Amino acid sequence: MQIEPTSLPGVVILTPARHGDARGFFSESWNRQRMAAAGFDIDFVQDNHSVSARAGTLRGLHYQSPPHAQAKLVRCGRGCLWDVAVDVRVGSPGYGQWVGVELSAANGRQLLIPAGFLHGFVTREDDTEIVYKCSDYYAPDCDGAVAWDSVGIDWGLTSAPVLSAKDAAAVPLAEFRSPFVSEARP
C-alpha cells in the first residue's frame, strides 16, 4: 500500500498494489493490521455504495457530528470522480482548508478522511460508483451538510452541478458551527 500525505494532516491518499494478469486484477483495499502499524488504527463498521447516473453530480459537503463522527475511506469502483475533504476542526491551523484528489476505477487511488472533516465529491463520468467505509454507523440525527460552493473549492465544473435538495439548502461554511475540535496542541 502506497501512503501519500496531503496538505491536510491526517488526510492521506492510499494506492493499493494491484496484482493483475489477463483476467484483470486483485487488490487489497484495506488491511487493518498493516494500516495500524502505519499509524492508521481505524475500525470500519459500515460500507456504503453510491451510484451517480450523470457526470456533474455533486454530493456534499457532508459530515456526521459527534457522538457518531465518521472517518471514511473512499474509492471509486467505476468511472471517475473528484473527491474533497475540508478541515472543520475548531482550533486547527487548517480550518476551512480543503484538499481534492481524482479517484477513478483506473487509478485505484483511495482517500482516507479522518473524523472532523467535511466530505464531498463530483462525478466526472456518467454511472460513476463510489464505495466507502465508515468508522461509525449512520445516525440521522447527526447528519449534516455545508454548502458545496462556500469553501472556495475548484470543482472543475463547466455547468451547474446536479444536487440533492439537502445539498442545495445547506448552510455556508461562514454560518456553520462546527461540532469538531482539533486535537492539535499549540
Q: Which residues are catalytic?
A: 62, 132
- Give the pairing of strands 80-87 and 98-104: antiparallel
Question: How big, in percent rounded to 5, are the helix, strand and coil portions of the chain?
Answer: 10, 45, 50
Residue ranges of the chain with pLDDT lower than 50? Answer: none
Supply the DSSP string of 24-59, one letter for each residue.
Answer: EEEE----HHHHHHTT------EEEEEEESSTTBEE
Q: Which residues contact 8 (CB under 8 A, 6 or more apart)?
A: 85, 87, 94, 97, 98, 99, 117
Residue-wise pLDDT tens digits, 93-125: 999 999 999 999 999 999 999 999 999 999 999
pLDDT in tens, 133-142: 999 999 999 9
